[in-house]
Amino acid sequence: MTYWTLNAIFLAVVALVAIVAAVRIRSTRPWVAVAIALGVLLVMTAVFDNVMIGIGLVGYEPSLISGAFIGIAPLEDFAYAIAAAVLLPSLWMLLGATEREERA
């Protein structure tokens, strides 16, 4: 299984949760915050992944990556940052929406 295949599975789940959250929470305000946080997280991931790979802390099997890189970090490595930045706020919004509905 390649890293892209693994990423596709996780990102599909993240997309489903985010879609449910977007439908239930109609405000765009939380999504602006998610987009800003995602941008910051992607920049930090680019910097620190390149450092970790550069010093030999982590490595990737060349036959399992696409060959697309940002610096020396494979593009596939950024999927985890995207998943975290979208999934966690989506879950928070969904659980908060459920809590608000129960109080009403």
Distance between start and end Cα atoms, the chain: 47
Confidence at residue 28, expressed as pLDDT on a 0 to 100 scale:
87
Confidence at residue 76, expressed as pLDDT on a 0 to 100 scale:
94
Of the candidates 10, 5, 25, which has an alpha carbon nearest to the alpha carbon of residue 93?
A: 25
pLDDT tens digit at each of 104 positions of the chain: 889 999 999 999 999 999 999 999 888 889 999 999 999 999 999 999 999 999 999 999 999 999 999 999 999 999 999 999 999 999 999 998 655 555 55
Q: Is 73 helix (H, G, I), strand (E, B) or coil?
A: strand
| Cut 0.95: pTM above it | no
Q: Is 69 helix (H, G, I), strand (E, B) or coil?
A: strand
Contact 30, 89 (CB under 8 A): yes
Eight-class DSSP state of 78: G
Confidence at residue 15, expressed as pLDDT on a 0 to 100 scale:
97
Confidence at residue 89, expressed as pLDDT on a 0 to 100 scale:
95
Contact 18, 88 (CB under 8 A): no
